[in-house]
């Protein structure tokens, strides 16, 4: 299973803090490189590996900055992290975290949406000599999105399978939404598009501001019409008196 988590969304600066994790097998002890290709630019990328010793008595972590290479021609970023597996530990939990820019689209005064897309081909924007290749397999993808508790979910594809509101760690509280779908990585080009997770939401602060602006505009317009009608009436009387 691949887990994608949206930890924080900034509509003002148009970025989402994201992490992607999955379990890999690495039977050989040679250096392994795990890479992730995402559209647009990223910053603050890191890699984290979790594994247990041969006796499965202790858990170890390997953590560090990940390498980021942006391909301006195709507007994609390659996030890669190297690690050397230990003998007797064939399974590793691999996590990549990054700040992902230009993925939030404003659709109204107070409404936004973003998508988490998945490629349906084996094409990757790196040189073949790098040795990187697509995983090319079917996997269950679980997307978890954290939003302020008062944020309103407008629409989503797919629909959330779980929704939890937590008030313990913040005065505002957080709403966590979980979405699950099956993804075939590396399908033959020409097949129907793979599911892209799409989340549309409304920011309450902007919604309240919009409603206030509409109310004030209507109020001022109403007052203006009264003065306009009174002015026209006075002008007609003045003309008749001449």
What pLDDT does 44 receive?
94
Each of the 242 residues of the chain gets a pLDDT tens digit; together they read 889 999 999 988 999 999 999 887 766 667 777 888 888 999 999 999 887 665 665 677 788 899 999 988 888 899 988 887 666 666 788 899 999 999 999 898 788 999 998 765 555 655 544 555 555 567 788 999 998 888 889 999 899 999 888 776 556 678 899 999 888 765 555 555 556 899 999 887 655 555 555 545 554 555 545 554 454 444 444 444 54
What pLDDT does 84 receive?
74
SS3 call for 231: helix
Cα separation, 236 vs 239, whole angstroms: 5
> Which residue do the tokens 């790098």 mark?
130
Per domain, the residue ranges of the chain are 2-202, 211-242
CATH topology of domain 2-202: Immunoglobulin-like (2.60.40)
What pLDDT does 239 receive?
47
Cα separation, 180 vs 195, whole angstroms: 11
Query: Which residues, 6 or more positions from 14, have their beta carbon under 8 angstroms from its beta carbon?
Result: 101, 102, 103, 104
Per DSSP, 193 falls in state P
Cβ count within 10 A of residue 88 = 13
CB 28 within 8 A of CB 85: yes
What pLDDT does 129 receive?
46
Q: Where are the alpha helices (DSSP H) in the chain?
A: 204-241
- pTM value > 0.85: no
Which sign, positive or negative, has the C-alpha torsion 73, 76, 82, 85? negative
DSSP letters, 127-186, are -GGG------SEEEEEEEEEEETTPEEEEEES--SEEEEE-SS-SS-EEEEEEEEEEETT
SS3 call for 55: coil
What pLDDT does 41 receive?
94
Cα separation, 135 vs 94, whole angstroms: 14
Structure tokens at 50: 């979790």
């Amino acid at each position: 299973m691949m887990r994608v988590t949206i930890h924080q969304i900034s509509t003002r600066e148009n970025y989402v803090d994201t992490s992607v994790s999955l379990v890999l097998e690495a039977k050989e002890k040679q250096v392994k490189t795990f890479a992730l290709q995402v559209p647009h630019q990223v910053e603050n990328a890191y890699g984290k590996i979790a594994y247990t010793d041969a006796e499965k008595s202790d858990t170890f972590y390997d953590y560090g900055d990940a390498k980021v290479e942006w391909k301006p021609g195709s507007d994609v970023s390659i996030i890669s992290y190297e690690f050397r597996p230990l003998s007797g530990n064939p399974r590793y939990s691999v996590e990549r975290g990054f700040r992902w820019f230009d993925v939030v689209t404003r659709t109204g005064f107070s409404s936004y949406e973003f998508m988490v897309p998945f490629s349906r081909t084996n094409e990757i924007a790196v040189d073949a000599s790098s040795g990187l290749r697509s995983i090319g397999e079917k996997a269950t993808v679980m997307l978890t999105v954290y939003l302020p508790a008062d944020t309103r979910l407008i629409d989503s594809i797919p629909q959330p399978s779980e929704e939890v509101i937590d008030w313990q760690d913040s005065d505002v509280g957080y709403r966590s939404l979980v979405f699950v779908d099956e993804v075939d990585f590396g399908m033959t080009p020409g097949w129907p598009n793979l599911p892209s997770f799409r989340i549309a939401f409304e920011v309450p602060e902007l919604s309240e501001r919009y409603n206030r602006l509409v109310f004030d505009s209507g109020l001022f317009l109403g007052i203006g019409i009264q003065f306009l009608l009174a002015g026209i009436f006075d002008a007609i009387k003045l003309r008749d008196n001449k």
